[in-house]
Amino acid sequence: MQPIVQARHLEKHFARFTAVKDVSFTIPRGKCFGFLGPNGAGKTTILRILLGLSPATGGQLTVFDLDIQQQAREIRRRIGVVPQQDNLDPDFTVRENLQIYASYFALPRREIESRIDRLLEFAALSERADAKTEHLSGGMKRRLTIARALINDPELVILDEPTTGLDPQARHVIWAKLSELRDRGTTLVLTTHYMEEAERLCDELVVMDHGLILDQGSPAQLIKRHVEPEVIEISGELPDSSELEQLCRIEHIGRSHYCYAHNPRPLLDHLQNQQDLIFLHRPADLEDVFLKLTGRELRDT
C-alpha cells in the first residue's frame, strides 16, 4: 500500500541553528507512528513542515502523494491536527468551536450537526456542549481539541504531545480514544516524551534528539536492538560494583544502579545474599532505549 507520508532528507534551519538534520522516514497507512524525543529534539518542527506551516530548508516531502509546497491546502483538507498547546476559540462554546471549525473546511452544514453530536459523544462532552471553553478542565480541553481534529473525517491525525500535562485518568481516556481511532483505520502520527504512551500506542517509532533521527523501528525491535532484555534496578550504596560488572552491564545515576543482562539469574542469586539492598527486576522497556540513545543528562540547559 502507498505510504501516507514520505520524507527524504528534510532539513530545517532557523538562522544559523539547525533544528532538523537530514531526517528521512516513511509513515505507513493505518498505523500509529511516533516521534519520541526530549525537549528541543525537533518534533514540533517536523510536524509543522508536514502541514506546510513551516517551509523546509531542504529535502523532499510528499503527503498523500501530494507535494507539500504545491498542494498544502489539499493536504490539510485531509488531515486533523491536535497542536502541542490547546488553541480552542475562547469566543465560542464547545459546540460552536466544532461548528466554526467545520466551516473552515466548507463542510455542508446539514451533515455537520449530526457529526458534531457524534464527536461530542466520542469526546464525552455532550453534557458540556454549551459550556464556554475557558470553563473546561485540561483533560476536557484536550478531548475537545481531539474532537475538533476529527471534524473533517481525516485520513491522518497529527497529535503533538496529546497527553502532556494531564493527570493519569485523563491520559488513559485519551489513549483509549486514540486506540479506537487507529482500530478504525485512521493513521496517527504523534510526538511524545512519555515512553509508556509510545509503547502502548505506536506501531512504529522514530527516536530523535538534537534534530537527528537516532533510530527507528517498532518498540519491540528498538528494545531488542539497543538493550539487554532484563533489567534489575538497585537502590542504595553498592558495596562492590566490580563483582556486579562481571554479571551485567551496569549504569549509575546517583544512588540508583541499572543492571542490564540477557540472563539475570546469576545476578539475582548474587543479590539475594546482600542484606540491605533494595532491588527490582523488570523487563527492559523503551525508557531504557531512550536513555541509552539520548543520554542521561538533563535537558533545558
Partner 1 sequence: MNAMNWQLPIIRRSALTIWRRNILVWRKLIGPAIVMNFGEPALYLLGLGFGLGFFIGEMANMPYLTFLASGIIASTAMTTASFEGMYSVYTRMVPQNTYEAILTTPLDIDDILAGEMLWCGTKSVFSGIAILLVAALLGAVHSWHALWAIPVVFLTGLCFAGPAIIMSALSPGYDFFNYYFVLAVTPMFIMCGVFYPISTLPEVMQSIVYLLPLTHAVELTRPLIAGNPVEHPLLHLGVLAGYTLIGYYFAVVLTRKRLIV
Ligand X SMILES: Nc1ncnc2c1ncn2[C@@H]1O[C@H](COP(=O)(O)OP(=O)(O)OP(=O)(O)O)[C@@H](O)[C@H]1O
Region from 22-30, 39-47, 68-76, 270-278 binding ligand X, contact rule CB under 6 A: 39-47
Burial 212-227 (b: 16+ CB within 10 A, else e): ebbebbebeebbeebb
Which of 9, 26, 104, 269 contacts partner 1 by CB under 8 A?
Answer: 104
The residue within the footprint of partner 1, chosen from 88, 144, 206, 232 (CB under 8 A), is 88
Distance CA 88, CA 66 (A): 29
Among 25, 33, 35, 101, binds partner 1 (CB under 8 A): 101
List all residues 6 or more positions away from 301 whose beta carbon is below 8 Å from its beta carbon.
none
56 near ligand X (CB under 6 A): no
Residue 186 makes CB contacts below 8 A (sequence gap 6+) with 30, 154, 155, 156, 157
Least Å distance between CB 168 and Mg ion? 22
* Distance of closest approach, residue 89 Cβ to partner 1, in angstroms: 6
Q: Which stretch binds partner 1 (CB under 8 A): 35-43, 100-108, 275-283, 290-298?
A: 100-108
Sign of the torsion formed by the C-alpha atoms of 99, 105, 108 and 114 = negative
Match 542469586 to its residue by C-alpha cell: 269
Which of the listed partners (Mg ion, ligand X, partner 1, none) does 89 bind, with a CB threshold of 5 to 8 Å by partner kind? Answer: partner 1
- Give the range of 83-91, 178-186, 215-223, 268-276 binding Mg ion by CB under 5 A: 83-91
> Residue 269 to residues 234, 239, 263: CA-CA distances in angstroms?
14, 16, 11
- Least CB distance to Mg ion at residue 291 (A): 20
Q: For residues 141 and 94, is the Cβ–Cβ distance under 8 A?
A: no
**Beta strand pairing call for 256-261 and 230-235:** antiparallel
Pick from 10, 27, 44, 50 the residue near Mg ion by CB under 5 A: 44
In the complex, the residues that contact ligand X under the rule CB under 6 A are 14, 17, 19, 37, 39-45, 84, 193
